[in-house]
Every structure is written in C-alpha cells, then in structure tokens.
C-alpha cells in the first residue's frame, strides 16, 4: 500500500493535509517548518514548488513563493528538502506546482527526480485534465499519483474525466477564487463533496479557505476524507519570520487545534 | 476551465451569427471610426527609399487598435449576460479601450494595471477613470503587465459567474488567442482592399510591432497565404545581450504562462523573467502562441530594435509626416529605418501604426530632458 493510500485506509479519521511553500523563507527554516508540521500531527505534507506567477494562489501564498525565490529556491532545493524529510519520516509528500516548472525541467526528469527524492503525488495547478494524458502516463511510470483540482464550477462530465485520471485523492476547491483564509465554509463546498462522491471512490479532500477547527469539522461531518490547510499555516510563518522558535510552537499548536475538528 | 468552455461555446455561436457580425460592423463604423486610412508617407518614403504606407490604427477611437477587440468581446460578453467586465492593461491602451466599451454599452469595468505602469502612464489612468472605469494598481510580482494578468485571472476565477474577462492581446488560454486574432483581423482585411485599390497589387513587406502580438497578427493574418514578407518587431530594450528587453520570440524558449504554450522569457529553472522596454505596451514575457508557430515555420520573420532606435523613429515620423506614433508602433517604424537599404524605391512597405503617441509624449520629453 502506498503512503497516501495508507492515510486514507478504512477506519482512519479524516486526514489533516498541511501545505507550505518549500524554501519559504529559506531552505533550513523550511525544513524546520516541515518538521513542526509533521510533529504537530499532519497526515499529508503538501509542498509548493515556488513559481514566479502562481495564478491560482492568493496574496499569502504568492508572498511565500516570492520569499522562497528570493532565498534562491530552485526545484533542486525542493528535492533536497524532500530527501532530508525522508531521512526521518514516512509522511506522504505531495508537490503543488505550476506546469512551466515541470515542463522546463522536462516532464520525465521532473517526475523521475521527484520519485527518487521520495515524493508521492504531484498536483499541477494549471494543468486541465483535457491536457493531462502525457503527465498521467509519466506519473504512472514514475510511481507518482497525479492529483487534480475539482472546482464548484466543474461539470459532472469533467468530474468523471478527472476521477478516471486521478490517483491518491481529489482536491476539492471549496471557494470561488484563489487560495486564502476565509470566514466560513459555504454550503456549495459540501454540495460539491456530495456531487463528486457520486462519481468516484477516491478519497476527497477539501481545501481553499479552511482555517478553523469548525471548518474542518463541517467538512469531516459531511463525509470529507481530508481537509487541506495552506494559507492559515503560511500566515503563521509570515507572522513569525523574526522568531522561528515562536513560529515552531505556533505551528504545532495550530495543527493540534485543527485536528480537534477531525475526530 | 468551465469558464473557458462556456466562452468557447459562446464565441462559436456568435461567430456563426450574422446578426452579431452586423452589430459589430456597425459599431466599428459608426463608433470606432473604421475603416482607418492607409496613408502614403511621401516624405518618409523619399528619405527611406521605398513606398511607405501607414495603416492608421492610431485613428481608431481611443487612439489604438485595441478597440477592435474590446468592441467584439464586449458585445460577446453582453450576449453571454455578463454584468461586469475586467481587463488587464500595460500601456493603458487596452484599459482605455475597455473603459470605452464599458461606458458605451453600460457595463461596469475594472482594470488591473501594474503599479509601475500606473505611474508611467498616468494620463491613461485618468482617461479610464474619466470614463467610469475603476483602475486597480497591482503591487504583486514585477508590478507590470504579466502581474496585472495574474490579478485579472484571480478576479475572474473568483467571480466567474457574472464577470467577463476581456483579454487585450492574443495571449492567455484558448479561445482568447483565436478570438482576439479574429477581431483584429479587420486591420489586415482592410489593408488588402486598400492597397489593391491604391497600388493594384499586394505589398512587398508588412511590418508590425509584437508584444503580446495582437496588432501584428491582425494585420498579418489575411496575408499568411500570400507572397508578402511579414516582419514582427520585438522590443530589444537596452539590447538582448544586456538581458533588459522583451524579445520573447528572439531570445526566449518554450514555456507555459497564463494557460498558453508559447515562447517565454524565463530563467534556467522556469521562473518567468522580468522584462524591459521603453514602451509599457510591449513589456510582456510571453507572446501569442500563433506567433510562436509562425516563427517556427518561418512564415514571419521576428527581429528586434532597441530603445534608442525607437526614440529616433518616434521623432522621425513626428517630424517627417506630422504623425506622432505610440512608442510600441515606433518599433515597426524603427525597423524600416534601420533596414532602409533592403528596400527598392518601388517596394511597397506597410507599417501597422497600431497607436498614437500622445500618451508617450510626457515620458519621451522627460527622457530627453525637454519638458
């Protein structure tokens, strides 16, 4: 059983999936942040491979991308970070990135290097399922799960297409728009969850705007297999750039509090 | 993606609808001021040793070719029942053209503009606001055109149900490059008729500047299967060797930005590079995918001119013909000046004068130390 599959195995409670931008604010601090997330109880670690033009992300994550790039983060840096984590943890690791990063390195090489470093899944935010045949073939050869976004505007036809190609889990986009902390989880997100459930047995994780245990609880009670939290974590990093000890403590606290929503 | 499928369907429907075509043609004639003249330039021709013509897109209402596209897309948005238009702008010409159609059709407009550009094109910001559009300065990334597109895309995905994203060039995801090309092709279709009437034959050479590439594809497209030399001029900025330029086709390589596979200015890891040009309208690290194809199959020759040559051309056309070109269009003029010895006295050379230069006068005056 793969690492991702194991997280979603029968009888387990919904997964807490934490996202940070790899290399934010620099390689060593980023590694420390990853450790804090893992110690705090994160079930799947999503790492953003920074891109200069992250159009699917809101200002919080874009700034994290900018910090990482300013510190000189490259895909090679990110692979190094994964290798370091793999020395101490078997947590599933998923990359979130944009197609130009993958394409520029070469699809085969990117997936090969990712697998080699210990990556389990890759989500390319600007890769629609209609264009994803090559990516999925390479992913499958490399032993990497291709993970896809499903939005509230996604038609049932396209959900079926996406579910056929996706492995690992589906990333359901709760809100209209880009990543970022929001006040509440809309009823539309739960409708989406039920709609997608009719078409697939893949685990379904909800993200975009989830920042409180109450949000997590609403998703879990509605039957989500996981919740994805990014901007709320990145905000903690942004707030504590001057004091990484406080950052470390706040990250661990935040995750344990969030997980109370997932029992 | 759903929004793009909806747009593709809607555009497919209107392109088969004669009523839509009639509405657009009427608007272009009665409101935009088409057709625009194909002006012979006796003085410049004398000096450069060819028959030089200008396609006068500077005379389109608003001061550039941009209105050809915004009228088409705004009519489409209206048919789709969208209640709000958003746009990105670099030099401000597309923002102005969107503000114009918003006012004319009674649709609220919001324009994203890089903060750097709002400063160098303050006059256009004022024009947009005067026509009721809201200008939103973009402070992320490099604070120029590509970042304005990023913000507009973010707005669009958040408000996709009632908002129409009116892209200003042949860039972005399908169907935008195709749709914008179709709307801009009116330029080349007119040129074809006009040059046949005036000269009884097709031109030898057509020259246009290329940023995203909408004015160029608009004038090139109807000539693609003819024996006419087509030249696209990119912004060489301070020189390709300095790295401070916007010459995507001449100095970039394959990449994906804003949902398009094309040429791209990027570093060795695939990060998009900052661009530079004296003209804000060419300051874009990508380029329309159709230009990438026309480069690869050698149908169009792409080349560059640098900022100083552009400023010379700006002054030359103003002085010889009494026509102040936009700095963008001055790139095409500069190419003809630089390559004058290539042309014979009887060669018909048509320059797409995509916009007028009033917006640039203050900046050029500042650069040359004359207010």
The region of weakest confidence among A252-261, B276-285, B326-335 is: B276-285
Helix, strand or coil, per DSSP, at residue A92? coil
Residue of B nearest to A127 (CA): B259
The separation between CA B165 and the C-alpha centre of its own chain, rounded to angstroms, equals 17
Residue A94 lies in a domain: yes
Residue A8 lies in a domain: no
Tell me A10's DSSP state.
T
Interface test with A, best of B9, B136, B142, B154 (most A CBs within 10 A): B154
Which pLDDT belongs to residue B371? 43
Range B242-259 average pLDDT: 96
Residue of A nearest to B256 (CA): A100
The CATH code of the domain that includes A18 is 3.20.20.70
Decide if pLDDT at B201 tops 90: yes
Which pLDDT belongs to residue A12? 83
Q: Which of A24, A43, A57, A65 is catalytic?
A: A57
Q: Is position A46 annotated as part of the catalytic site?
A: yes
- In angstroms, the Cα distances linking B143 to A52, A53, A83, B193, B285 are 12, 12, 35, 41, 13
- In angstroms, the Cα distances linking A205 to A18, A33, A181, B134 are 11, 22, 17, 37
Which pLDDT belongs to residue A92? 98
Range B236-242 average pLDDT: 96
Chain A CB contacts of B252 under 8 Å are none
Residue of A nearest to B274 (CA): A52
Q: What is the full DSSP assignment across B149-172?
A: HHHHHHHHHHSTTTEEE---SS-S
| pLDDT, tens only, B137-186 | 999 888 888 899 999 999 998 898 999 999 999 999 999 999 999 999 99
- State the nearest Cα–Cα gap between A186 and chain B, in angstroms: 14
Asked if domains B2-29+66-180 and B33-63+185-367 share a fold, the reply is yes
Tell the CATH topology of B33-63+185-367: Rossmann fold (3.40.50)
**Residue among A58, A75, A99 whose CB faces B269 most closely:** A75
| pLDDT, tens only, B266-318 | 999 999 999 988 888 898 999 999 999 999 999 999 999 999 999 999 999 99
Token look-up 């983060």 returns A73
Residue of A nearest to B155 (CA): A177
Which pLDDT belongs to residue B1? 83
How much is the mean pLDDT over chain A?
95
Q: Who's near A131: CB < 8 A, 6+ residues apart?
A: none
CATH classification of B2-29+66-180 is 3.30.110.30, yes or no?
A: no
Token look-up 């101490």 returns A88
How much is the mean pLDDT over chain B?
95
Decide if pLDDT at B39 tops 80: yes
Kindly determine whether residue B1 and residue A130, on different chains, have CB atoms separated by under 8 Å. Answer: yes
User: Degrees (nearest 5) of the Cα angle A180, B143, A173?
Assistant: 20
**Residue among A66, A126, A178 whose CB faces B259 most closely:** A126
Decide if pLDDT at B352 tops 90: yes
Confidence class of residue A175 from pLDDT cuts 50, 70 and 90? confident
Decide if pLDDT at A36 tops 60: yes
Beta-carbon count within 10 A of B19 CB: 9
Kindly determine whether residue A53 and residue B141, on different chains, have CB atoms separated by under 8 Å. Answer: yes
- State the nearest Cα–Cα gap between B123 and chain A, in angstroms: 28
Chain A CB contacts of B163 under 8 Å are none
Chain A CB contacts of B174 under 8 Å are none
Count of the separate structural domains present in chain A: 1
The region of weakest confidence among A139-153, B225-239, B313-327, B356-370 is: B356-370
Percent of chain A with pLDDT over 90: 92
Which pLDDT belongs to residue A178? 82
Which pLDDT belongs to residue B369? 62
Sequence ranges of the domains in chain B: 2-29+66-180, 33-63+185-367
Q: What does the alpha-carbon distance between residue A223 and residue A190 come to, in Å, rounded to a whole number?
A: 9
Q: Which amino acids of B are annotated catalytic?
A: 41, 65
What is the domain range of residue A153?
Answer: 13-256
Decide if pLDDT at B370 tops 60: no
Helix, strand or coil, per DSSP, at residue A166? coil
Interface test with B, best of A53, A67, A155, A209 (most B CBs within 10 A): A53
Confidence class of residue A11 from pLDDT cuts 50, 70 and 90? confident
Confidence class of residue A203 from pLDDT cuts 50, 70 and 90? very high
């Amino acid at each position: 059983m793969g690492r991702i599959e194991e997280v979603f195995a029968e009888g387990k409670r919904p997964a807490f999936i934490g996202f940070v931008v790899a290399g934010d604010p620099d390689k060593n601090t980023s590694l420390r942040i990853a450790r804090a997330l893992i110690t705090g109880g994160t079930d799947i670690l999503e790492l953003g491979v920074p891109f200069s033009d992250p159009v699917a992300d809101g200002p919080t994550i874009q700034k994290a991308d900018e910090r990482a790039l300013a510190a000189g983060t490259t895909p090679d840096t990110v692979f190094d970070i994964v290798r370091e984590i793999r020395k101490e943890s078997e947590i599933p690791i998923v990359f979130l990135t944009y197609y130009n990063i993958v394409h520029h390195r070469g699809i085969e090489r990117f997936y090969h290097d990712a697998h080699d470093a210990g990556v389990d899944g890759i989500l390319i935010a600007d890769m629609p399922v209609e264009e994803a045949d090559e990516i999925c073939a390479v992913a499958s050869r490399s032993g990497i799960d291709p993970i896809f976004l499903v939005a509230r505007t996604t038609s049932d036809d396209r959900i079926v297409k996406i579910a056929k190609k996706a492995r690992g889990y589906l990333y359901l986009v709760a809100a209209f728009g880009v990543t970022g902390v929001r006040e509440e989880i809309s009823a539309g997100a739960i409708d989406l969850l039920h709609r997608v459930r009719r078409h697939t047995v893949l685990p379904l994780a909800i993200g975009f705007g989830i920042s409180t245990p109450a949000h997590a609880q609403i998703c879990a009670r509605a039957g989500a297999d996981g919740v994805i939290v990014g901007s709320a974590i990145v905000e903690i990093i942004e707030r504590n750039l001057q004091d990484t000890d406080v950052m470390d403590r706040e990250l661990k606290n935040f995750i344990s509090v969030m997980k109370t929503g997932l029992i | 993606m759903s929004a793009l499928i909806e747009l593709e369907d809607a555009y497919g429907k209107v392109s088969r609808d004669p009523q839509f075509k009639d509405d657009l043609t009427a608007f272009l004639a009665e409101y935009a001021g088409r057709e625009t003249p194909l002006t012979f330039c006796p003085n410049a021709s004398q000096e450069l040793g060819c028959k030089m013509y200008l396609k006068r897109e500077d005379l389109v209402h608003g001061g550039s070719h941009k209105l050809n596209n915004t009228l088409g897309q705004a009519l489409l948005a209206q048919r789709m029942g969208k209640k709000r238009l958003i746009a990105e702008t670099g030099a401000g010409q597309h923002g102005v053209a969107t503000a114009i159609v918003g006012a004319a059709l009674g649709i609220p407009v919001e324009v994203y503009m890089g903060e750097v550009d709002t400063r160098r094109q303050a006059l256009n910001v004022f024009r947009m606001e005067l026509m009721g559009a809201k200008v939103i300065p973009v402070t992320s990334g490099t604070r120029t055109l590509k970042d304005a597109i990023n913000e507009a895309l973010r707005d669009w995905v958040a408000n996709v149900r009632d908002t129409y994203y009116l892209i200003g060039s042949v860039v972005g995801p399908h169907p935008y490059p195709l749709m914008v090309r179709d709307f801009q092709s009116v330029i080349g279709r007119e040129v074809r008729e006009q040059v046949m009437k005036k000269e009884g034959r097709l031109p030898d050479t057509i020259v246009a500047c290329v940023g995203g590439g909408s004015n160029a594809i608009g004038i090139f497209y109807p000539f693609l299967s003819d024996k006419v030399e087509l030249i696209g001029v990119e912004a060489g900025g301070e020189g390709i060797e300095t790295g401070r330029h916007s010459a995507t086709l001449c100095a970039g390589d394959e990449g994906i930005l804003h949902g398009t596979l094309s040429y791209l200015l990027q570093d060795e890891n695939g990060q998009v590079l900052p661009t530079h040009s004296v003209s804000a309208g060419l300051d874009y690290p990508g380029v329309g995918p159709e230009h990438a194809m026309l480069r690869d199959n050698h149908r169009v020759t792409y080349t560059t001119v640098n900022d100083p040559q552009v400023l010379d051309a700006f002054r030359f056309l103003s002085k010889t013909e009494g026509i102040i070109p936009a700095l963008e269009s001055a790139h095409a003029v500069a190419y003809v000046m630089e390559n004058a010895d290539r042309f014979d006295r009887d060669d018909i050379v048509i320059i797409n004068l995509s916009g007028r230069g009033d917006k640039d006068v203050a900046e050029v005056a500042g650069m040359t130390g004359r207010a």
